[in-house]
Amino acid sequence: MIRDKVSIRGVNNIQSLDIEFEYPDSRIIVVTGRNGVGKTTVIKSFGLPSEPNIFTKTYGDDVLSGASLAAFELSGMNPFSFHFNPDLRAFDSRDSIPNDGEVVAELPIPYGARFQQFSKIAKYDEELKINIASSDYGSAIDLIKFLSEVYSTDKFDGLLATRIGNNEFYFILKDDDYYIREDHFSSGEFFLIQLYRLISTGASLILVDELDVALDAVAQVNLYSAIKPILKARDSRLIVVSHSLAFFSTVDEDGLYYLERTGDQILLEARSFGYVKSDLFGFRGYDRYILTEDPVLEGFIEFLIRHYSIDCHYQHITIGVAGDNQLKMIVDKNDTQQIFTSSDKVLCVVDGDVFLGLKQKYDGPTRILSTPVDDLESYLYLNRNVLLSDVELPNYQESAKVKQASKSYWKWLLKDRGFSTDELYRVIIDAEGVDVAPLTEEIRGFLRR
């Protein structure tokens, strides 16, 4: 697994932060968090190898002090660090730092290279006209594929590229040598082209702040899958900052990192989609909240409500947070900050295998209930010879670890065998010895009282 580590001390609003990124198979990590907590400071720190003055240029002279430090352990590179140099009033390093272009950090408006491209294109307009007149251009095949996948359209099939010096520019040719330059495209299309430039550089590590500038919701949903093959082909990895809920929903498991401040401590760690959407967006406005430890259990709760025709007097939402530790953290936050509502209007439901441990760790006012099985996916997997005796076994190599094997088996049943999640839930509740009545009645009372 690819890992990158960075430690930041005494920079802007970050007094102490230690980060370890572990990349999923997609090689994409998405960072989010509330405004002002320090996301841009993290991105700027990765820009130090190419611009040691980056902090003083963008924040001012008083942003650093004698205790300021940025230390890196990046996969495939020698460790290096930057310390404050009082003579330069900026960061300085005596280490062997990455080669130019090996680590690319794209900043937000107005500093990022994306926002400088408008003037650059206008500067080379005469050369562009000459290249067009002499037919010195070709099809922008790879970019066409990228844009078409993001926007699901053939609008860009006529996109052409021409090179002027070290720069490549894109345009669409019309009749009588009339052309539409890339800077005359919509703002979303233009910034996607700039993103393509960044992820196509061949840099080992690419960072982009404010990834989803001017992109509509559909483009945000398609963007993640469109980026992955480009990174794979170039053996690159990508860290992006985003606030898009639509984009978060497409991110691979363990690829979403949340920067948050708890008291005087700042943490940047992997968090689930459920945790992030709960803390970042709040989801206020519901009468009742049911929090669960993962999306599978989230779906199970909603299935019970439908299957047993629970009359929901109160408007509710069920949120899968992913893991008992993150569930406890979000419940603790609600108890103290009411990010949802008062604790008596929040209910936690977890699987039996974590129920006792969570009850020991949490002593707050929010009620915690347990399902009648240790784990929904594991229960189905371990009892499949009885519960699904007429379903052939999968032909892939199964993991020796029950948790991992059961998750893969659950996904296989849904994707390859055509089961619906409701069908799998029904198999579980119909199994001998599985009594969901107590849990169902608790949920009924919670949503009606």
Tell me how far apart the alpha carbons of residues 93 and 138 are, in angstroms, rounded to a whole number: 43
DSSP string, 361-386: H--SSSEEEE-SSS-HHHHHHHTHHH
10 Å Cβ neighbour count for 20? Answer: 14
pLDDT band at 57 (very low <50, low <70, confident <90, very high): confident
What is the pLDDT, as a whole number, of residue 107?
A: 83
Query: Considering only CA atoms, which of 192, 267, 324 is closest in space to residue 20?
Result: 267
Query: What are the pLDDT digits (tens) for 110-142?
Result: 676 777 777 888 888 999 999 998 999 999 999
Query: What are the pLDDT digits (tens) for 421-434?
Result: 999 999 999 998 89
What is the pLDDT, as a whole number, of residue 423?
A: 96
Q: Torsion-angle region of residue 430: left (phi > 0), alpha (psi -120 to 50) or beta? A: alpha
The kind and range of the H/E element at 255 are none
- CA 316 vs CA 86, 290, 311, 321: distances in Å: 57, 7, 12, 16
Helix (H, G, I), strand (E, B) or coil at 277: helix
pLDDT band at 109 (very low <50, low <70, confident <90, very high): low
What's the token pair of residue 112?
A: 């990022």
Query: What are the pLDDT digits (tens) for 366-385?
Result: 999 999 999 999 999 999 99
Range with the poorest average pLDDT among 123-137, 266-280, 298-312:
266-280
DSSP string, 175-215: GGG-EEEGGGS-HHHHHHHHHHHHHTS--SEEEESSTTTT-
| Summary mean pLDDT of the chain | 91
Residue with tokens 């994306």: 114
The percent of residues above 90 in pLDDT, for the chain, comes to 64
The kind and range of the H/E element at 105 are strand 103-106
pLDDT higher than threshold 80 for residue 181: yes
What is the pLDDT, as a whole number, of residue 110?
A: 66
Helix (H, G, I), strand (E, B) or coil at 262: strand
Phi, psi of 102 (to 5 degrees): -80, -35
